Amino acid sequence: TSFTSYGPTVAVDADGYEVESYVPGGAKLKLSGTSMASPNVTNLAAKLFALDPSLTPQKVIELIKQGATPSEDGRRHLIDPKRSIELLKNGKSISAAAK
């Protein structure tokens, strides 16, 4: 999409296309953009902290990155909340599992 960004400084991405949102007055509107994608990453981080308050911010970032699913071309990594939470619950990381 025109608002999608990827490259060496973008670690993960999240769905931000046609996200149904409430607007003042209670109506729903489909909006797209990074402002619609970033709350998905924030929500995942909050869930990880809620499940384990002892996590460091760096560990949360690691779980989000390791749980992400790469695109076919490998240029983007879509967050996968279920996988990140599974990694936390199993007490494993992908790098540790590979050893």
Average pLDDT rounded to a whole number, residues 46-64: 97
For residue 33, give its domain range.
19-92
Q: Is 66 part of a structural domain of the chain? A: yes
Model confidence at 89: pLDDT above 70: yes
Q: Tell me the H-state helices in the chain.
A: 34-51, 57-67, 81-90, 94-98
Model confidence at 24: pLDDT above 90: yes
| Length of the chain, in residues | 99
Q: Is 10 part of a structural domain of the chain? A: no
Model confidence at 92: pLDDT above 80: no
pTM: 0.81
Quote the CA–CA distance of 41 and 79 in Å, as a whole number. Answer: 7
Q: Is 12 part of a structural domain of the chain? A: no
Contacts of 71 (CB under 8 A, 6+ apart): 77, 78
> Tokens standing for 21?
């949102």
> Tokens standing for 85?
């939470």
Quote the CA–CA distance of 77 and 12 in Å, as a whole number. Answer: 5
Q: Is 82 part of a structural domain of the chain? A: yes
Q: Is 4 part of a structural domain of the chain? A: no
Q: Is 9 part of a structural domain of the chain? A: no
Q: Is 57 part of a structural domain of the chain? A: yes
What integer pLDDT is reported at residue 83 of this predicted model? 97
More confident residue, 27 or 34: 27
Tell me how many domains the chain contains.
1
Q: Is 11 part of a structural domain of the chain? A: no
